[in-house]
């Protein structure tokens, strides 16, 4: 699959599909603590973004925080940003309902998901809705990285997943 980055198409790694199980991974949070995939229980929304330092990524994270504020699910944002950039973003936003994490150290999440743009070294803009058994129940890979995901579709799929749980 290819996505558009700065007007040019670039390939993704071999990306995960709906109904695949997300492999094990370790990412690093904004305080340099490791987060293992086994630490995250229940339903999760995992957002991959190129960088929290861009306006589109920052806006996306803020919107997900807002629309999911009454939900009891984990929101995990994964990028290749250094933890210092993640911490700076968290300090300037109401970030208590989201876990910002980086894959810079181990590249485990990029290996597990295949959502990295390897020629660029950044993640594509993607949303994964993952159930309590780590099965991907919904996946949106935004074709043009400069666009935001379909928030309504994500919420619709989340409600369907919660009803089936």
Catalytic residues: 57
| Closest listed residue to residue 19, CA positions, set 143, 133, 159, 153 | 133
Q: Which residues pair with 127 in a beta bridge?
A: 47, 140
- Are residues 102 and 81 in contact, defined by beta-carbon separation less than 8 angstroms? yes
**Residue matched to tokens 């109904």:** 19
Rounded CA-CA distance 153/36 in Å is 28
Q: Which residues pair with 28 in a beta bridge?
A: 34, 102
């Amino acid at each position: 699959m290819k996505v558009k980055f700065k007007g040019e198409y670039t390939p993704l790694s071999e990306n995960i599909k709906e109904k695949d199980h997300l492999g094990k991974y370790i990412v690093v949070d904004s305080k340099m603590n490791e987060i293992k995939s086994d630490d995250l229980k229940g339903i999760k929304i995992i957002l991959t973004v190129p960088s929290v330092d861009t306006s589109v990524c920052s806006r996306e994270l803020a919107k997900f925080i807002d629309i999911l504020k009454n939900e009891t699910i984990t929101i995990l944002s994964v990028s290749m940003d250094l933890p210092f950039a993640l911490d700076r973003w968290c300090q300037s936003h109401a970030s208590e309902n989201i876990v910002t994490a980086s894959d810079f150290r181990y590249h485990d999440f990029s290996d597990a998901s295949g959502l990295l743009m390897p020629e660029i070294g950044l993640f594509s803009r993607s949303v994964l809705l993952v159930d309590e058994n780590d099965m991907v129940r919904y996946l949106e890979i935004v074709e043009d990285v400069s666009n935001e995901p379909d928030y309504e579709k994500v919420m619709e799929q989340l409600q369907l997943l919660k009803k089936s749980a």
